[in-house]
Homo-oligomer: A and B are copies of this chain.
């Protein structure tokens, strides 16, 4: 921003991907085992550097997703989560990483890609509790991603993105319960999502479970923003962070 002989410093730009899904009623995040230093052997988010100086950042995120996790890119909508660029977060130098968030329905185990020794789903609560040891500042990035998902569930139709193309209302309730970490009354939840116009639309058929009355099937509706929003019950007492 000046025409002095001073030249601005340069940084390495990376992308990191927080891919969340639901497995056995628990929220999971896609992690790889790093095959190279630094943090070789540690778990980390899929991601990597820009391939060339003109690559679009979002395009790089999609590319890394397919390279490192071999997931179908088409169905996932990536949303920018934030920038993580503290000096010293990467021993290789000044690396600034753009984190992206995506929500996926239940998917098969991904296969390891080029730079990843292994790839797989890990429960987010094991990550957030510090039970798993993550590379870089990826634990914090995941924490931010989970929190983002929690709030997006309130105001957007994101919940349907966790489900398969057709799903039951109980399926959708399971999404809310897993992400929010609480239990909800099935009858009130049923009433609420039915009344929220454009959230879900009937898919005609029914699905018979192993036991119990068959449930009607629905599809994601046209709305992306929910009005009125789903209300998440207050948790702690008065003043919270």
**A contact set with B: CB distance below 8 Å:** 1-3, 8-14, 36, 47-57, 80, 82-83, 85-87, 94, 96, 98, 114-115, 151, 155, 197-198, 222-225, 227-228, 231, 234, 238-241
Contact = CB atoms under 8 A, between A and B. Distances in A.
Given A1-B36, A2-B115, A8 B50 contact: yes
Contacts of A56: 86-87
A36 B3 contact: yes
Query: Would you list the 8 A-B pairs with minimal beta carbon distance, nearest first?
Result: A8-B49, A10-B10, A198-B239, A9-B53, A1-B48, A222-B239, A54-B87, A223-B239
25 contacts: A1-B14, A1-B36, A1-B47, A1-B48, A1-B49, A9-B13, A9-B51, A9-B52, A9-B53, A9-B55, A10-B11, A10-B12, A10-B53, A11-B12, A11-B53, A13-B96, A55-B87, A57-B83, A57-B85, A83-B83, A197-B240, A223-B238, A223-B240, A225-B241, A227-B240
Contacts of A36: 1-3
Nearest to A228: B231
Which has the most chain B C-beta neighbours within 10 Å: A3, A50, A54, A114?
A50
Contacts of A151: 155
A165 to B, nearest CB: 19
B234 A227 contact: yes
A9 B198 contact: no
B9 A50 contact: yes
A55 B94 CA distance: 10
Contacts of A155: 151
Contacts of A197: 238-241
Contacts of A87: 53-56
Nearest to A96: B13
Contacts of A14: 1, 8
